[in-house]
Amino acid sequence: MASFDIVSKVDPQTLENAVNTAKKELQTRYDLRDTKGGIDLDKKANTILLSSENSMRVKALEDILLGRVVKQGIDGTALDFSADEQPSGNLVKKTIKVRAGVDKEAGRKIVKAIKDAKLKVEAQMQDDQVRVSAKKIDDLQAVIALLRRTDIGQPLQFVNMKS
């Protein structure tokens, strides 16, 4: 049987390049030149920490980061901006999670979308990915086309196509 895996991952080197470019832009922007704090990437926790004096400047840091991430070719939905800002002394900090892996809710959406399309394929959750298998490769290509049109809420990649 032919199969492929649906995953959601971000290349760590590309993400690091985007963060470093955002840091350089932060130093050259006139309105943010003398600010305390900045942008820090935590590779182990897969998070990005934004810090500045007030929430308006944190929003500006978000815009800079998002612009640089998109220019590096990373989908903007890979970053989770939903966390609230926390005051920490005289700084305001915000932690942004980088989405890695298909979470359970997104996996359910993917499986439901595939089943609602009534294609002759079988989809199943496996840890942080979804495996889709079928007898014909054409059915698998139809699933890929369907999922590219569907908004799941995070970027998807299609890997390990086996026939």
Under-50 pLDDT residues of the chain: none
pTM above 0.85, yes or no: no
Using only C-alpha atoms, what is the Rg of the chain? 19
Which pLDDT belongs to residue 16? 93
* Pair (89, 64) in one structural domain: yes
Average pLDDT of the chain? 87
Q: Are residues 28 and 49 in the same domain?
A: yes
What integer pLDDT is reported at residue 26 of this predicted model? 86
Task: Give ∠ CA 10-14-15 in degrees, rounded to 5.
Answer: 65
**What is the CATH classification number for the domain harbouring 145?**
3.30.70.860
Phi/psi region, residue 121 (left: phi>0; alpha: psi -120 to 50; beta: rest), is: beta
Query: Directed axis angle between helix 12-28 and helix 55-71, to 10°?
Result: 130
3-state helix, strand, coil in the chain (%, to 5): 40, 30, 30
Total tally of structural domains belonging to the chain: 2
* Span 16-35, pLDDT tens digits: 999 999 999 888 888 777 77
pLDDT at residue 100, as a whole number: 85
pLDDT of residue 47: 92
Cα distance between residue 158 and residue 44, in whole Å: 25
Decide which of 98, 131, 151 is a domain's last residue.
98
